[in-house]
Amino acid sequence: MEDEDIALNSVLGLELNRVFFAVRETANKQKIIEFAREVLQSERPERPGSVSPEGPSS
């Protein structure tokens, strides 16, 4: 099952990359980045004391 998840994530990552470069408007690229970030954060288990990629929260 884990191998299937890894394969699916690879395919999804490649497709997201293709769509990102096909989009011309910067605002739409930002929406793609925000969506991908939300999906990644929802997939990762919460770890106490972890720092987000944007930096420590205030």
52 pairs with which residues across the strands?
55
Token pair listed for 50:
């972890």
Q: pLDDT tens-digit profile of 6-33?
A: 888 888 888 888 988 899 899 999 998 8
Tell whether pTM > 0.75.
no
User: Is the pLDDT at 48 greater than 80, yes or no?
Assistant: no
Place of tokens 């925000």: 34
Instruction: Kindly tell me the sign of the dihedral angle through the C-alpha atoms of 38, 4, 17, 47.
Output: positive
| CA atoms of 57 and 30, how far apart (whole Å) | 21
Token pair listed for 45:
């288990």
